[in-house]
A = this chain, B = another copy of it.
Amino acid sequence: MTDAAGRRRPTLSAIASAAGVSAATVSKVLNGRDDVGAQTRAHVQRLLAEHDYLPATRQRPARNGPAGPHRTIGLIFDDFMSPYATELIRGVTDAGAAADADVVVGRFSDGSSGTDGAAWAQRLLRAGRDGVLVVTSDLTAQQTSGFSEVGLPLVVVDPVHTPQASVASVGATNWTGGLSATEHLIGLGHRRIAHLGGPARAAISQARLHGYRAAMENAGLPVDPRLVVDGGFGFEAGLELATGLLAADDPPTAVFAVTDVCAFGVVQAAHRRGLRVPEDLSVVGFDNTYLAPWVTPALTTVHTPLQDMGRYALQMLLRLVDGETVEPHHVELATELVVRDSSGPPPARVPAAAG
């Protein structure tokens, strides 16, 4: 029986020799029997921990076979109740199946992360992870450095912050996507275009926002600061921010939302105000998750190749696990506008419901 790194795991009797006691005594300690002296118990426990002992019954079955180097990687999300996460899971697990790597799904909030990066990485290592993929998470430098201290390969997908140079990452051309979404709306004749952004400190929010700004400036259109708001990536943020925008004096005729799910919130806000999409308000999302064509009206959005990003990130991670150097360290895959039914020309005049 060998561990993930191919080392032989110590047996109970090996621990016994190391501790200078009999195998029976070690067994008793392991099973919490009370007929063991306190000192002996403490001593044995220390050696068990030191040697990273694992009962044979808890190790993987010895089923042989030249099955190649089997690897287990962790895939960690802030939240996976979103179509965005679903697309990534699909890409990562597909690539995992192809490369004979197991993908263990988990969440940041599972309590395992904590502030001590090295301890967290150590736990993941002990749990058998050969590498870890973290998605859109608020990784601190302290946390990422924990991974390198422990020697656990790490790849970040869509890093919320601009990633440290040392951490491998996979993202998308968010700036270009924001540009083309906004250009699409300008091309339809819109002048008052709002941008409903994600958290201001997040790198992908900033890139999408600056794409919007660039398109407005290129077209010689002023950016009304009241039409540029930020909040979050989710439905609630979209609903609340759009409700505010639409209630204002001079409301926008189009909204570019930072994600598809955020755009759903905008559509809901429009509906509550009696506005039709796209007749009274055009809405453009971002990501083109599998849901975009399933809502009514089908959502115009910027396609982000999330499945490809997941696949790419997994392959990158496996190369790191295999001890290869990965160049380039940061990759951005191309985005592309997909026009559906939620965007159209602006209404001839200000919608009746406004004011």
- Name A's B-contacting residues (CB within 8 A): 29-32, 48-49, 52-70, 72, 80-83, 85-87, 89-90, 93-94, 97, 102-107, 110-112, 122, 125-128, 235, 261, 264-265, 267-268, 271, 290-291, 293-298
Query: Given known contacts A93-B105, A104-B102, is B54 in contact with A58 (CB within 8 Å)?
Result: no
When the two chains form their complex, are residues B126 and A69 in contact, meaning their CB atoms are under 8 A apart?
A: yes
Residues of B within 8 A of A94 (CB): 107
A260 shortest CB reach to chain B, Å? 10
User: In the docked arrangement, what's the CA distance between A48 and B85, Å?
Assistant: 41
When the two chains form their complex, are residues A104 and B104 in contact, meaning their CB atoms are under 8 A apart?
A: yes
User: In the docked arrangement, what's the CA distance between A54 and B86, Å?
Assistant: 34
User: In the docked arrangement, what's the CA distance between A267 and B296, Å?
Assistant: 7
Residues of B within 8 A of A112 (CB): 97
Query: Given known contacts A103-B104, A295-B295, is B66 in contact with A290 (CB within 8 Å)?
Result: no
When the two chains form their complex, are residues A261 and B294 in contact, meaning their CB atoms are under 8 A apart?
A: yes
When the two chains form their complex, are residues B48 and A57 in contact, meaning their CB atoms are under 8 A apart?
A: no
Q: Which of A53, A291, A294 has the most CB of B within 10 A?
A: A294
Query: Given known contacts A102-B128, A107-B97, A294-B235, is B32 in contact with A64 (CB within 8 Å)?
Result: yes
Query: Given known contacts A56-B57, A69-B126, is B290 in contact with A265 (CB within 8 Å)?
Result: no
Query: Given known contacts A62-B31, A105-B103, A235-B294, is B110 in contact with A97 (CB within 8 Å)?
Result: yes
User: In the docked arrangement, what's the CA distance between A94 and B112, Å?
Assistant: 13
Query: Given known contacts A268-B294, A268-B296, A296-B268, is B68 in contact with A54 (CB within 8 Å)?
Result: yes
When the two chains form their complex, are residues A107 and B128 in contact, meaning their CB atoms are under 8 A apart?
A: no
Residues of B within 8 A of A126 (CB): 61, 63, 65, 67, 69
When the two chains form their complex, are residues B295 and A264 in contact, meaning their CB atoms are under 8 A apart?
A: yes
Residues of B within 8 A of A64 (CB): 29-32
Looking across the interface, which residue of chain B has its beta carbon closest to that of A290? B81
When the two chains form their complex, are residues A128 and B60 in contact, meaning their CB atoms are under 8 A apart?
A: yes
A69 shortest CB reach to chain B, Å? 4
User: In the docked arrangement, what's the CA distance between A66 and B31, Å?
Assistant: 10
When the two chains form their complex, are residues A62 and B30 in contact, meaning their CB atoms are under 8 A apart?
A: yes
Looking across the interface, which residue of chain B has its beta carbon closest to that of A97? B110
Residues of B within 8 A of A265 (CB): 294
Q: List 20 A-B residue pairs with CB atoms under 8 Å apart, sorted by A's residue number.
A: A30-B62, A32-B64, A54-B68, A55-B62, A57-B57, A60-B69, A61-B128, A70-B128, A81-B90, A86-B86, A97-B106, A102-B104, A102-B128, A104-B105, A105-B105, A235-B293, A264-B295, A268-B294, A291-B291, A295-B295
